[in-house]
Chains A and B, each alone.
Chain A
Amino acid sequence: MEQFLIFGVVGLSTAAIYAIVGSGLVLTYTTTGVFNFAHGAAGMLSAFAYWQLSVGWGWPVPLALAAVLLVLAPAFGLLVEKVVLRPVQNLGEAERLVMTVALLSGLIAAARWIWDPNLPRPLTTFFTEREPLHLGPVTVTWHQALTMIVAVLVALALWFLLNRTRIGAEMRATVDDRALVGLTGADPVRANRVAWVLGTQLAAIGGILIAPTVALDAAQLSLLIVSAYTAAIFGRLRSLPLTFLGAVVVGCLESYLTGYLPQNQYLPGLRLAAPALLLFLALLLFPHGRLRGRDRRLRPVPTPTMRGSVVFAGVIVLFAVVLATVLDEVDAISYGPMFALGVVALSFVPLSGFAGQISLCQLSIAGVGAVVWGQLAPDGQPWALVAAFAVSALVGALIAVPALRLSGVYLALATAAFAVVLDRWIFTLPSFELFGVRIAVFNQSSVEMAGPDFFGFRLEEPAELMVFSALCLALGSLGVAALRLSRFGRRLIALRDSEAAYATLGGSLLAARVLVFALSAGIAGVGGALYGMQLQSVTAEQFNFVAGLPIFLIAVIGGLGAVGNGLFVGTAYLGPIHLLNAVAPWTHNIVQLLPALAGLGFARHPEGIVPGMRHSWEPLARSRVALSALLGGFAVLWLLRIGDVVGNAVLLLGTAVLALALRTWAQAKEATATEPEVPVEWWGVRRPWRKEDEEVLSRGIAGG
């Protein structure tokens, strides 16, 4: 009994922190309609800033607290509102989600850059020197008491603000109908600013209170938010009292699991993963209100042509072959995973691009694929690649079935929770036996991966594996293009456009969702296996949730619906990082920020970059003269490189200059060749009626 009480106190004091952070989340969601994935990261940054001021620079504690809570946190909140969220205010929910994911990824990278993660940064609890309170058998430290008092005060103050003041009504009204707020003479921008300032301050309080009890680590502190998310989901992202109840459930669960979970090697991970598991369950069990501030402006999914896709697939393979011939061994290792990660990124295209389902766990599923390959193909049996596809697809289907009723933010959250469960528990498991089969996950450290063996011909060298991955990426891209053109592809887009309409037309939501989840998970699994082979030895960290965020961001920037996204993500993710590192090694830390920064710039190109690239390069691909000139010029440069007459830089720059020049030429030629614009009403009269006119007209009419 005594032990029960002691763990209860610990649980309640953690619960208090989750409640503070969770209520900040509810506040920003109910008043701005943005589900802030970076909420925990803001708390993490505040904890680091507090450490820097109080310990690093030796400021007195009250001064450091005031500086963080009253100056830095509000300033950061205002900055986020202005720079990050104002530009996407009028875009859809998915775009706003991407912005906060970019912020999360960026803040973690920034904190690691500013504060070297290898140095320990101890923070003392508040009132350490004071004698703890003794309440019967239970001892409560002053830090714990303070935490609980702060939580109660926050709860009361927030409730009063939202329900009893005019600014509270203004904030809630802004989510309901922003334009109408302006018509009443109130100020929606002010309402949003207040919400962001308060939300960031709450995150900061939570971060500073929890930092002394855990290690000051950027990713870990940011992900403590998972528990706060769970609490907020208990409150259905709306109710503060239920959020507090949820926080108590999560806090006590964690604490009692620490106390009562049997000690063996399989279960400690379960305790760490418990909040994420609970989040997953809470998402499934609680009914969700209609998402707020939801304005769906769907973008058309680009239609590839089969001929263009074949050319594109050829380009991928050619690119890999050229890279394989010109890169030395070290560079081949650096750039090699490009195509394997491209396959992982390609898995976003059917799932998020066509079917509109946001998943944040694709890299984690890729990890499953890698584990399967490591387990089944110690000697590189090629059939294990099929097994990697199958097992990953099964995992994908397993996520899809319970997640059937989730969409948007909730689905993103559920997949994030799933990724965290894998990270903290499944991937850390020692080897175990299931139905008589010995399964080793990551062996708690690293797993060796063999290259595939085709009838005695073993692919071992990084360059060989790179070409093999590129071949897989080319085939995958072709397959996804075929899918887009197929009946099933059209069905998925119909599903994205309106689930209700899809169901009324007789489509089966369950079947379509499970299939697309399985398919995309399968692709990700193969990508993971290829990535593993390329790296030769993999650890669980390479497949964790945080590592997956940049890939998701770049995929979004590329344009989720574009088939060419696989190659784009692979190149854009690894290319700049290694190139910059080679040219200027001091940029090592900054380049980690690039995906996040690019993600934040995404508001300017919400349709993605790849469709635009396709548009600008198509004239070159259509022009026989330009294409043969490019291939010829490139062949010359390549031969010069093979003969060691010129270096890689000349090859790269020369090709780039040649390609850009020819592109401009082809565009100019095509522009003069096309006839002058004929007004719509004269189509079929002044010029003959074309097959594509009908679609153009239909789209124009449908678009209003």
Chain B
Amino acid sequence: MSALLELRGVRASYGGITALHGVDLSVSAGQVVALLGPNGAGKTTTLKVAAGVHPADSGRLLLGGRDVSGANPRDLARAGVCLIPEGRGVFPNLSVRDNLLMMTFTGRGREEIEEIAFARFPVLAERASQAAGTMSGGEQQMLALARGLATDPAVLLLDELSMGLAPLVVAELYEQVAEIARQGVAVLVVEQFAAAVLDIADHAAVLVRGRVERRGDPDAGLRAELSDLYLGSAR
């Protein structure tokens, strides 16, 4: 299976502080890869590099085998990379309908997007003319996730989908993520709440201090090791 999204030896830094010390990752079509790790490990930075939001100091970013290192977020978005950032990836002062309208820049038309989003998340149809910021956290996250669903991306990058949400809502959202992957999308999920994502992940990588310390299938062994990796006693 060829990789749809690939990071090769990516290094990135903020000012003088290096966040990533050469990260290699690859995600194939239809695969869900969970990127786990403690606070400050560089998980979000990895996603930002993959979406073009943060520049990599060195290393390469490949999309469907093509080198797209250094491309800006807008071009990557149009090429099929969809990053749903940490927090709520919605425009709080825009209505739900306008938020959906903002998803039309990547190709699909307004009617089609509304149809897909409302079919999958009926609650959004009820709230269509409400400002997105006034919905509950779970509903906002559904709206954010609707972008990953309705815009037909090749690669979906998810950052902390579970942040501030009730466990039941999180489970529900991750079911949708699994569904998106089944349609052939390459999904890379960053999550601190490991248990939620390991149920649906095909593969997991654990990032500690900017390096991938462990990768493999999300089996019991990895789950057992996680706490050691998080607390740093594995080194």
Contact = CB atoms under 8 A, between A and B. Distances in A.
Given A177-B91, A179-B53, 19 more contacts: A166-B105, A169-B101, A172-B91, A173-B94, A175-B93, A176-B91, A179-B85, A180-B90, A180-B91, A181-B102, A182-B74, A183-B83, A184-B77, A184-B102, A185-B74, A185-B77, A185-B106, A186-B74, A186-B105
Given A179-B53, A183-B83, A173 B102 contact: yes
A499 interface: no
B77 A183 contact: yes
Interface in A168-216: 169-170, 172-173, 175-177, 179-187
B93 A172 contact: yes
B92 A182 contact: no
Contact of A180 (B78, B85, B104): B85
Contacts of A185: 74, 77-78, 105-106
A625 B63 CA distance: 65
Contacts of A187: 74
A181 B93 CA distance: 13
Contacts of B184: none
Given A185-B77, A186-B74, A169 B85 contact: no
A177 B83 CA distance: 14
Contact of A184 (B72, B93, B106): B106
Interface string A674-688: 000000000000000
Interface string A310-333: 000000000000000000000000
Nearest to B98: A169
3 closest A-B pairs by beta carbon, nearest first, are: A185-B105, A185-B77, A176-B91
A182 B85 CA distance: 12
Contacts of A175: 93
Contacts of A173: 91, 94, 98, 102
A176 B95 CA distance: 12
Interface residues of B, number: 24
B102 A170 contact: yes
Nearest to B52: A182
A180 B94 contact: no
B92 A176 contact: yes
Interface of A: 166, 169-170, 172-173, 175-177, 179-187, 292
Contact of A182 (B77, B89, B94, B106): B77
A170 B105 CA distance: 10
A175 B89 CA distance: 14
B102 A169 contact: yes
Contacts of A292: 93
Contacts of A183: 51, 53, 73, 77, 82-83, 85, 89
A172 B74 contact: no
B135 to A, nearest CB: 14
Contacts of B82: 183
B104 A166 contact: yes
A180 B147 CA distance: 12
A166 to B, nearest CB: 6
A423 B72 CA distance: 51
B103 interface: yes
Nearest to B83: A183
Contacts of A172: 91, 93-94, 98
A183 B47 CA distance: 12
A175 B164 CA distance: 24
Interface string B75-88: 00110001101000
A173 B83 CA distance: 17
B76 to A, nearest CB: 9
Contacts of B101: 166, 169
B140 to A, nearest CB: 12
Nearest to B82: A183
Nearest to A162: B98
16 contacts: A166-B104, A166-B105, A169-B94, A173-B91, A173-B94, A176-B92, A176-B94, A177-B92, A179-B73, A179-B85, A182-B53, A183-B89, A184-B105, A184-B147, A185-B105, A292-B93
Nearest to A166: B101
A677 to B, nearest CB: 13
Contacts of B94: 169, 172-173, 176
A181 B94 CA distance: 12
Which of B82, B93, B106 has the largest number of chain A CB atoms within 10 A?
Answer: B93
A541 to B, nearest CB: 43
Contacts of B91: 172-173, 176-177, 180
A601 B92 CA distance: 33
A176 B90 CA distance: 9
Which of A166, A176, A180, A184 has the largest number of chain B CB atoms within 10 A?
Answer: A184
